[in-house]
Amino acid sequence: MTVDTAVTSASGTAADTELVQLLTPEGERVPHEHYDTLIDDITADEIRDLYRDLTMSRRIDSEAIALQRQGELGLWASLLGQEAAQVGSARALRPQDHVFPTYREHGVAWCRGVDPAQLLGLFRGVDQGSWDPKENNFHLYTIVIGAQTLHATGYAMGVQRDGAIGTGDPERDAAVLAYFGDGATSQGDVNEAFIWAGVNNAPVVFFCQNNQWAISEPLERQTRVPLYRRAHGFGFPGLRVDGNDVLACLAVSREALQRARDGEGPSLIEAFTYRMGAHTTSDDASRYRLDSELESWRLKDPVERVKAYMTREKMADQAFFDGVEAEAEQLAEHLRTTCRSMPDPHPTTIFDHVYVDTPPTLRAQQEEMARYLDSFVDEKEAQ
Amino acid sequence: MTALTIAKSINAGLRRAMDADAKVLVMGEDVGRLGGVFRVTDGLQKDFGEDRVFDTPLAEAGIIGTAIGLALRGYRPVCEIQFDGFVFPGYDQIVSQVAKMHFRSGGRLRLPITIRIPYGGGIGAVEHHSESPEGYFAHTPGLKVVSCASPADAYWMIQQAIASDDPIIFFEPKRRYYEKAEFDLDQEPDLPLNASRVVAEGSDATLAAYGPMVKTCLEAATAATDDGRSLEVIDLRTLSPLDLEPVYASVRRTGRLVVVHEAQRTLGVGTEVAARVTEECFYSLEAPVVRVTGYDTPYPPARVEEDYLPDLDRVLDGVERALSY
Ligand SMILES: Cc1ncc(C[n+]2csc(CCOP(=O)(O)OP(=O)(O)O)c2C)c(N)n1
Ligand SMILES: [Mg+2]
């Protein structure tokens, strides 16, 4: 038995696969009849903001990796290479939209206004998500692969029932954005989310960052067709975008989110990108993938291409880039100091939020733990 | 004699099972080229080929569901679930399908499936990577549930699990994966799969544990000798069916039992052990059976896990409670 890989075309060939791209890897702006109209209001200032978001996202990531190496974090899931997919999609959101991330969406969190230091708690092992999801309409990270796509769909069904779509009021109409990976597309939950969203015409956008890998498994282990094409079978549109092109990601996300807000239902965006780092700091990617693959994607770097574009179009000078760099350093310093001073939770707090209405039996266990811990204090005092 | 870690022993056991029976398959997420995130299946794909050792799509219901089909077709699938907390997308297939197929078919259909699950905490991991879900499975008729605690047991029990015509949920103590011990790879195993064993003899109280907590209990027993206490330690090894004869025999001598597991307390394995020991050894008991377990909360963030997990001190505290009753 062998699987015929010759007919497998998970990535698709150039001939049969359309990739929305507005900015080439060299930073040249390529015209697009349709998607240009979605970003033609973008000012040079906003391009500079996007560059800043990309740089800050990358800096959050590199600082977190450093903190992990220093033993301050137990683990980190790097977004390196996926900055444009995250920033482009997140900057298409309105405040009233709601986001359901995986564990890798640090750039999205940044764009939503979550203090990046708050992302560290989960990875440090002091909490399981310390930000208030309601404050920035940014849900907790979900580690169980694919589960959040159903939550996003249900949330969108709620938005629908609240009449918060199709009113034409830009302050009111809302969409839901669900992030997930290429590996996640194999989960039952994700396929059920597609079905539910389709059947209910729910205002949700499924944003798949196809970074080509699910830990050690390449895309071919998950699919034999380009992922975006699956949408068709579920009854809604799907497209593939250059996930390393922040302008293209912004344009396609704007369109899909507006569709949802207008009451026209779900869509799937496959952001074609690459996981430049290991799966997490615990992973050794050299065991399963070639450096040459990494090299070819390095040429498509999502941050460098915006920089090249801005330089070419004279949108920014060295002083601007230096300024962003300095700001990124400040952010890194904020992450370092906040992370190092994050206290370990007191053990007895683990009982506090198991239930809304804590049963007396659990309170009794909490007291049992407290007494036990106190017995050591007494022992020390006795010595 | 060979010195192997628990992880390497399972690897060696898988190899032997695959050599012995061409129908044995290994399937799961990242088990092929990577050799699993804990390297338990390291090198198997290279040596047995991609038909027998394969990376599956990222879908636990699919892993278990297709293993059922493969088993119906005559294969003996060994499924790897990457971490304890990720078995649940496959839970329906396990409890509604794997567990009941033999029963529903009036004995005509057998599902010789082994489901390997690295479990338990103490490794500083993020959520869903440190859980002890064995109780859910032990509560399900039709499944046999075991856990190994030493390299020799890991090596033999995985082979016995694969050879079993009943489905086996095989819990691997992930924080003990790198514990090493010498044993003879060729000497036949001294116990069948579903049997418990006394691993340290003692006379003042009995400790019963399994998986990662066996080592903790052995250390507690060693520490207790400083206080002149002699503790017997029993490695339960099998959680369903339970093999409690050695526990009854021990409790009849010591009169005191402390059951230890990482899993939360309520309706856990310790609860069943306590009930049965009370039924069987009522007149020998000098104290109620003590349970030293995780608390009835979700597994907490890593920086407080040491206070959630039973450790040497908590085990000894449990022993004190049993002795001073
Ligand atoms: C239900 C479940 N099964 C297994 C895992 C272990 N796991 C964590 S990440 C991962 C790969 C995810 O790949 P993908 O969806 O492509 O996202 P990426 O990590 O590439 O962003 C796996 C298998 C998990 N977290 N949840
Ligand atoms: Mg991926």
- The pLDDT of residue A13: 59
Which chain B positions have a beta carbon within 8 Å of A143's beta carbon? 126-128
Among the partner-chain residues B37, B126, B298, the one whose CB lies closest to the CB of A354 is: B298
**Interchain pair B85, A144: CB under 8 A:** yes
Tell me the mean pLDDT in the region B93-108: 98
- The pLDDT of residue A6: 45
**Interchain pair B58, A188: CB under 8 A:** no
pLDDT tens digits, one per residue of B59-88: 999 999 999 999 999 999 999 999 999 999
Q: Does residue B104 have a pLDDT over 70?
A: yes
Residue A380 contacts B, CB cutoff 8 Å: no
Among the partner-chain residues A126, A189, A375, the one whose CB lies closest to the CB of B301 is: A126
Is B32 in a helix, a strand, or coil?
coil
CA B215 from chain centre, in angstroms, equals 13
List, as one string, the DSSP characters of B98-137.
Answer: ITTHHHHTTTS-----EEEEEE---S-PPTTSS---HHHH
Count, residues in chain A: 383
Ligand lying nearest the CA atom of residue A79: 1
Which chain B positions have a beta carbon within 8 Å of A128's beta carbon? 127, 301
Which chain A positions have a beta carbon within 8 Å of B300's beta carbon? 345, 347, 350
Place of tokens 């069948």: B192
Tell me which DSSP letter residue B242 carries: B
How far is the CA of A291 from the CAs of A304, A305, B37, B42, in angstroms? 20, 21, 20, 21
Tell me the mean pLDDT in the region B236-261: 98
**Interchain pair B58, A126: CB under 8 A:** no
Residue B238 to residue B145: CA distance in whole angstroms: 6
Farthest CA pair distance, chain A = 80
Tell me the mean pLDDT in the region B148-172: 98
Could you tell me if B245 and B142 are in contact, meaning their C-beta atoms sit under 8 angstroms apart?
A: no
Place of tokens 């898988």: B14
Could you tell me if B18 and B48 are in contact, meaning their C-beta atoms sit under 8 angstroms apart?
A: yes
Q: Residue B304's closest chain A neighbor by CA?
A: A347
A104 lines ligand 1 (CB under 6 A): yes
Distance from the Cα of B296 to chain A's closest Cα (Å) equals 7
Give B 2-61 residues with CB within 8 A of chain A.
29-30, 32-35, 37, 50-51, 55-59, 61
Farthest CA pair distance, chain B = 59
- Give the start-to-end residue ranges of the domains of chain A: 2-340, 347-382
Q: Residue B84's closest chain A neighbor by CA?
A: A144
Q: Residue A73's closest chain B neighbor by CA?
A: B124
Which chain B positions have a beta carbon within 8 Å of A192's beta carbon? none
- Among candidate residues B102, B129, B139, B261, the one labeled active-site is B129
Could you tell me if A129 and A121 are in contact, meaning their C-beta atoms sit under 8 angstroms apart?
A: yes
Q: Residue B265's closest chain A neighbor by CA?
A: A365
Q: Residue A367's closest chain B neighbor by CA?
A: B295
Residue B15 to residue B79: CA distance in whole angstroms: 14
Q: Which CATH architecture has domain B197-323?
A: 3-Layer(aba) Sandwich (3.40)
Tell me which DSSP letter residue B93 carries: I
List, as one string, the DSSP characters of B251-268.
Answer: HHHH--EEEEEEEESTTS
Question: b/e string for A153-183 if b means 16 or more Cβ within 10 A?
Answer: bbbbbebbeeebbeeeeeeebbbbbbbbbbb
Round the CA-based radius of gyration of chain A to a whole number and report it: 22
Ligand 2 centroid–CA B130 distance in Å is: 23
- The pLDDT of residue A18: 87
Sign of CA dihedral A295, A300, A301, A305: positive
Tell me the mean pLDDT in the region B216-220: 98
Phi, psi of A19 (to 5 degrees): -120, 120
Total-model pTM:
0.97
Among the partner-chain residues B33, B58, B303, the one whose CB lies closest to the CB of A126 is: B303
Q: Supply the ipTM of this predicted assembly.
A: 0.97
How far is the CA of B50 from the CAs of B28, B54, B89, B114, in angstroms? 12, 5, 25, 19
Q: Which residues are close to ligand 2, an ion, with C-beta < 5 A?
A: A 181-182, 211, 214
Ligand 1 centroid–CA A171 distance in Å is: 35
- Among candidate residues A288, A340, A363, A372, the one labeled active-site is A288
Give B 300-319 residues with CB within 8 A of chain A.
300-305, 307-308, 314, 317
Average pLDDT, chain B: 98
Ligand 1 centroid–CA B208 distance in Å is: 36
State in words which class domain B2-183 has: alpha beta
Ligand 2 centroid–CA B39 distance in Å is: 20
Yes or no: is domain A2-340 CATH 3.40.50.970? yes
A214 lines ligand 1 (CB under 6 A): yes
Q: Tokens representing A266? A: 């779900």
Phi, psi of B28 (to 5 degrees): 160, -175
Q: Does residue B291 have a pLDDT over 60?
A: yes
- The pLDDT of residue A383: 61
> Pairing mode, if any, of strands B2-5 and B180-183?
antiparallel
Could you tell me if A84 and A123 are in contact, meaning their C-beta atoms sit under 8 angstroms apart?
A: no
Residue B274 to residue B291: CA distance in whole angstroms: 8
Q: Does residue B168 have a pLDDT over 60?
A: yes
Distance from the Cα of B130 to chain A's closest Cα (Å) equals 12
Cis status of the peptide bond prior to A133, with omega within 30 of 0: no
A350 lines ligand 1 (CB under 6 A): no
B62 lines ligand 1 (CB under 6 A): no
Among the listed residues B180, A251, B263, the one whose alpha carbon sits nearest the alpha carbon of residue A259: A251
Q: Does residue B294 have a pLDDT over 50?
A: yes
Distance from the Cα of B108 to chain A's closest Cα (Å) equals 28
Q: Which residues are CB-contacts of A169 (< 8 A; sequence separation ≥ 6)?
A: none
pLDDT tens digits, one per residue of B224-239: 999 999 999 999 999 9
* Positions of chain A with pLDDT under 70: 1-8, 13-16, 380, 382-383
Side chain identity at residue A158, one-letter code: G
Known catalytic residue at A275: yes
- The pLDDT of residue A382: 66
A275 lines ligand 1 (CB under 6 A): yes
- Give the start-to-end residue ranges of the domains of chain B: 2-183, 197-323
